[in-house]
Structure 1
Amino acid sequence: MRGRRLLVVVILIIAAAVIVFFRTYDGKPGPLPSVDDIITELNEYDSEADAAVVLDQVKLTEQQVFIPFVSNQGIHGMGFLTWEKRKWSVVRVDMSERPEVRVTDHSDPAGRYIVWNNNPLEKLQEFRFYLIRDRNAGMSSGIYYYVPRVQMETLVNVTEHPYGAMPYPEEWAGIMREDNKLGKVPASNIMDKIFSHTYSQPSSMYVGYLPVYANGAPGLGSSSKSGGEDTEYLMIMNEKDLENPQK
């Protein structure tokens, strides 16, 4: 009798494990939906999208795809598909016509992509993207500290690439990893304490961009859209925000 009860318990545990597995296991991503289905899903996700033309299907990872599209009103929007629960689903639509960062891996800076879908009416020639860490100095707990400035630049020709997804350059990812690592250095002696204290201060590291227009053409206005945990916004910068800016 006891053996029977034990067998029943084991069977129930196995059955529960199988159910949980199939509910949480996404499996290998299947083929993407058709263009018509993608348009339908974009519009169902956000009625303001009014998507009409899909420009491309840009794979970020095996489970994440960037969809640049154009609405019936000529707005250049961005959609994002994710493979989850064994199907492709729209997880974000952005109609702001401004670049943003899509995070595919929160554990590694290399898992970030700058994505954009530029409206040609903007008469943009170039995006200048920057990784910035502000210079910082002061004293805390009797210890002087100094955090040097970082300014790293990468350029995108918008005329040649009106839409795209650019992974963070390895130089950016590397310095961001080091910045994170230095803030976690254990302080075992006085020099380590000074070193650790220096880099434990807020470094204000961020990514921004400078749009360069043809013949000084003014930029168009833009709408805003709420984001999520997988979206990071880019700060629009001015020449005065930069050190030794390009002319």
Structure 2
Amino acid sequence: MNKKTTIWIVSGMTGVLVLAVIYSFYFRSPSPFPTNEHLIEELQDTFPAFPEVGDSEILEVFDVGERKKYVPLVTSEGSYGSSYWVWDKYKWKVESVDTKGGPRIWKANKGDPSTYHIVWNIHPNDRVKYIDFHVLRDRGYSIANGTDETYYPRIQMKQTVSLEEKSYGVLQLPKEWASFVSGLNDTYAAQQPDLFFNQLYTEQQVSFGWIPYDTNNEEIFPNHSVNGSGFSNGGGDAFAYLSILNEYDLEVWSGE
């Protein structure tokens, strides 16, 4: 075997080894999710300035895709909050924490609305019996090129979730909602090839909200579940809050 052949063989083996290392580092399947004790240790190490978060009770662990977990918790100060965990190359890490559990949308894959999940951890003292989640788009009208007229009808969809068994949980965006948002993305993409503009415009046109109800089926304001603190360890653009709505924000059609 001559020197040139030896160099080619060594180079090829080195390339294969590098590719194997890159694959195992970035694309390997996540390891088992840590125990509650290890989650608390990670919270303490990541947010040492917020001991009330580092001394929390873990309520449950929910899958939000293969590489993401939603973990509702109760802090040492009695706040019902949320923690968001992601598989980051070689370990599970906490990406964000809230000390209040009002609903948020977690965009597991920001380009695919079917991967969006609504997560919540409502304080039991708010006595919320159920929540109506809504996706809305106001009607509109536009003219392009002076002659092309387009009317946009009102869109309003609802999903009801009971909190009688658990005051926390996860709801994957309903298929009808995901198809609606994806359809808007496709429409704007055809009109404007700038991807960032498309996503921004869609977010301006579509709103997500929630209405909490008490045991008398009346609207209730969840004082204990809103206006908390949030601590981010990256990935903040993957989250979106839902607005608290009132029934007068909705339209009611005859026969509904």
Q: TM-score range by the shorter chain?
A: 0.7 to 0.9
Number of residue pairs matched by the alignment: 230
Alignment partners' CA distance in 1, 2:55 and 2:158: 33
Question: What is the Cα-based RMSD across aligned positions, in Å?
Answer: 2.5
Structure 2, unaligned runs of 5 or more? 192-200
Partner of 2:241 in structure 1? 233
Q: SS state of the match for residue 230, structure 2?
A: coil
Partner of 2:71 in structure 1? 67
Alignment partners' CA distance in 2, 1:208 and 1:226: 23
Correspondence 1:93 to 2:94: no
State the shift of 1:102 in Å: 1.0
1:118-143: CA deviation from partner (whole Å, max 9, x where unpaired): 10112222221111111111323212
Letter in 1 for 2:173: Y
Contact map agreement 2:100 2:121 (CA 8 A) in 1: no
Letter in 1 for 2:29: K
Alignment partners' CA distance in 2, 1:102 and 1:60: 8
Residue number among 88, 108, 112 corresponding to 2:112 in the alignment: 108
Alignment partners' CA distance in 1, 2:76 and 2:175: 38
State the shift of 1:92 in Å: 1.6
Contact map agreement 1:103 1:113 (CA 8 A) in 2: yes
Q: SS state of the match for residue 56, structure 2?
A: strand
* 75-84 or 136-145, larger mean C-alpha shift: 136-145
1:40-64: CA deviation from partner (whole Å, max 9, x where unpaired): 2123223422442111111222221
* 146-155 or 78-87, larger mean C-alpha shift: 78-87
Residue number among 167, 172, 185 corresponding to 2:177 in the alignment: 172
Distance 1:114 1:217, change over 3 A: closer
Q: SS state of the match for residue 183, structure 1?
A: helix
Q: SS state of the match for residue 119, structure 2?
A: strand
Alignment partners' CA distance in 2, 1:20 and 1:30: 17
Partner of 1:205 in structure 2? 206
State the shift of 1:229 in Å: 2.5
Partner of 2:154 in structure 1? 149
Q: What is the TM-score when the length of structure 1 is the normalising length?
A: 0.81
Residue number among 225, 242, 246 corresponding to 2:250 in the alignment: 242
Residue number among 202, 219, 222 corresponding to 1:219 in the alignment: 222
* 177-186 or 38-47, larger mean C-alpha shift: 177-186
* 2-11 or 47-56, larger mean C-alpha shift: 2-11
Contact map agreement 2:212 2:221 (CA 8 A) in 1: no
Q: SS state of the match for residue 37, structure 1?
A: helix
Partner of 1:196 in structure 2? none
Contact map agreement 1:97 1:222 (CA 8 A) in 2: no
Identity percentage over the alignment?
A: 26
Partner of 1:52 in structure 2? 56
1:103-126: CA deviation from partner (whole Å, max 9, x where unpaired): 112232110110000101122222
Alignment partners' CA distance in 1, 2:17 and 2:165: 55
Contact map agreement 1:51 1:72 (CA 8 A) in 2: yes
Contact map agreement 2:44 2:55 (CA 8 A) in 1: yes
Alignment partners' CA distance in 2, 1:70 and 1:180: 37
Structure 1, unaligned runs of 5 or more? 187-200
Letter in 2 for 1:164: G
Alignment partners' CA distance in 2, 1:42 and 1:209: 29
Contact map agreement 1:42 1:79 (CA 8 A) in 2: no
Contact map agreement 2:61 2:69 (CA 8 A) in 1: yes
Residue number among 120, 123, 128 corresponding to 1:124 in the alignment: 128
Distance 1:154 1:12, change over 3 A: same
Alignment partners' CA distance in 2, 1:153 and 1:123: 21
Alignment partners' CA distance in 1, 2:165 and 2:14: 60
